[in-house]
Amino acid sequence: MTSTATTTARSVPPPRQALFDPDEPAGAMLPVCDHYAGVPALMHKSLALQAEMGPVFDVTLDCEDGAPVGGELEHAQMVAELVMSPANRFGRVGARGLPVAHPKFEAVLDTLVRGAGERLAYLMAPKPRGLADVQRAADALDQAARRAGLARPIPLHALVETHGALRDVMAIAAHPRIESLSFGLMDFVSAHRGAIPQWAMSAEGQFDHPLVVRAKLEIAAACHAAGKTPSHCVVTEFKDRKALAEAADKAIRLLGYTRMWSIHPQQVPVIVEAFAPTTAELDQAIEIIQAAMAAGWAPIRHHDTLHDRASYRYFWQLIERAHRTALPGAPQLPAELRLAWFGGDATAA
């Protein structure tokens, strides 16, 4: 891999400053994998894996499917304690709350925010029936934060898994409190009352059925238009590494997703690796960005191909993704470039 030190002059602005309009929604640089855990044993195992691998994936502690019926508040209190514990080494632990229509929605939200709001990376809002539900979730989250005396807004994520949410997806993505949208495959399929067959929930079928693919594309397009992060749905065949790797590759390279769900610890490294650029892609991006900086961001010729700021943006974003997927053995930036461009911080991207 290229290891030449950056040749930038002090007067040349850095890539993100030079290539992106300050008024353009840039979006949060979230880890490429969002790992879900709902029961205590798996929560602890997931946090231990994150401590080992580093902040290349988020952990979402589940207060919806993970909570026993009738024990939602106790479960939320346990989640809050874990978020505040030393096991949360990098501050990249979020929680999934309850749907806004659930009778304990606000009580669970208050428990999470009061107990862990200062370190909660985000709150995932499941099953919104449309923009109004997202607005209600955002208002409730901000009110809970004010009651808890928090100085920062807690980022809000939402699951698009109902007909109403898909109908309003452009407006939901544009909502100022939304950081990321995820596709809820299984609830979306079941919402069609049997009209979408079971095979459309499989690792292969979810990329073949037109109604499912249409939903995925609309979510990704809405997120990119609003500068938000689109997060791809689960692959339930969690022991089939080949199927998972192929699904992750399709998610990023065909459908434009920049993040993906994991539901088993074994899925995490497969997803992170699939979302990482190849060595050849990273080498090319480094060469082009270095040459562009040496030219003061003017157009250049690289291997008889013209490049200007439009393509520079693509190659810089690829470098940012490589920085966020820096696992041992994966393509990585040379240390001097990582220091020059990201300050050497593994989470700086």
Helices and strands in the chain: count of H runs, count of E runs: 14, 10
Is 27 a member of any domain? no
Residue-wise pLDDT tens digits, 209-218: 999 999 999 9
Q: What is the dihedral of CA 44, 81, 59, 156, to 10 degrees?
A: 160
pLDDT given for residue 9 in this prediction:
42
Amino acid at 139: D
Specify whether 172 is located in the same domain as 115: yes
Q: Is residue 271 a part of any domain in this protein? A: yes
Residue 7 domain-assigned (yes or no): no
User: What amino acid occupies position 85?
Assistant: S
Domain assignment present for 333: yes
Q: Which residue from 110, 34, 102 is spatially nearest to 76, judged by alpha carbons?
A: 110
pLDDT tens per residue across span 118-152: 999 999 999 999 999 999 999 999 999 999 999 99
Given a cut of 80, is residue 233 above it in pLDDT?
yes
Distance of CA 57 to the CA centre of its chain: 8
pLDDT greater than 80 at residue 10 = no
- Mark whether 173 and 283 lie in a shared domain: no
158-194 per-position pLDDT tens digit: 999 999 999 999 999 999 999 999 999 999 999 999 9
Same-domain status, 282 and 172:
no
Closest CA to 79 of 142, 123, 49: 123
pLDDT tier at 220, thresholds 50, 70, 90: very high
Check whether residue 117 and residue 225 sit in a common domain.
Answer: yes
Paired with 158 in beta bridges are 125, 181
| Residue 102 DSSP label | S
Domain boundary among 275, 301, 333: 275
- What is the pTM assigned to this prediction? 0.90
The C-alpha atoms of residue 319 and residue 325 are separated, in whole angstroms, by: 10
- Residue 315's CB is within 10 A of a number of other CB atoms, namely 23
Range of the domain at 42: 33-275
Other residues' Cβ atoms within 10 Å of the Cβ of residue 312: 22
Give the three-class secondary structure for 210.
helix
Pick the last residue of a domain from 255, 275, 295: 275
To the nearest 5 percent, what fractions of the chain are helix, strand and coil? 45, 10, 40
Q: How many residues would you count in the chain?
A: 349
Does 268 share its domain with 296?
Answer: no
- Is residue 270 domain-shared with residue 306, that is, in the same domain? no
Is the domain of 224 the same as that of 167?
yes
Residue 184 identity (one-letter amino acid): G
DSSP string, 5-57: PP---TTSPPHHHHHS-TTS-------SEEEEE-SHHHHHHHHHHHHHH-TTE
The pLDDT score that the predictor gives to residue 250 is 98
Whether the predicted pLDDT of 255 surpasses 80:
yes
347 within some domain:
no
Using only C-alpha atoms, the chain has a radius of gyration, in whole angstroms, of 21
CATH number of residue 150's parent domain: 3.20.20.60
Based on the fold, state whether residues 192 and 291 are members of the same structural domain.
no
Number of domains in the chain: 2
Q: Are residues 222 and 162 in the same domain?
A: yes
Is residue 115, in this structure, part of any structural domain at all?
A: yes
For residue range 13-71, list pLDDT tens digits in order. Answer: 889 888 988 776 666 789 999 999 999 999 999 999 999 999 999 999 999 998 999 99
Q: Are residues 196 and 297 in the same domain?
A: no
Angle 175-178-182 (CA atoms, 0-180°, nearest 5)?
120
Contact 112, 120 (CB under 8 A): yes
**Number of other residues whose CB lies within 10 A of the CB of residue 161:** 22
Cα–Cα distance for residue pair 333/126, rounded to 1 Å? 36
* pLDDT value for 249: 97
For residues 318-325, give the mean pLDDT: 90
Domain boundary among 275, 296, 319: 275
Strands (E), 19-164: 33-37, 57-62, 93-96, 123-125, 156-160
Does 161 share its domain with 299?
no
Residue 249 and residue 294 in one domain: no
Going from the C-alpha of 56 to that of each of 52, 304, 346, the distances in angstroms are 10, 36, 9
Q: Are the beta carbons of 324 and 56 closer than 8 angstroms? A: yes
Residues 6+ apart with CB under 8 A from 183: 159, 160, 161, 215, 216, 219, 230, 231, 232, 233
Give mean pLDDT, residues 280-297. 95
In a domain, 241, yes or no: yes
Non-local (6+) Cβ contacts of 202 within 8 A are 236, 237
Q: Is residue 26 part of a domain?
A: no
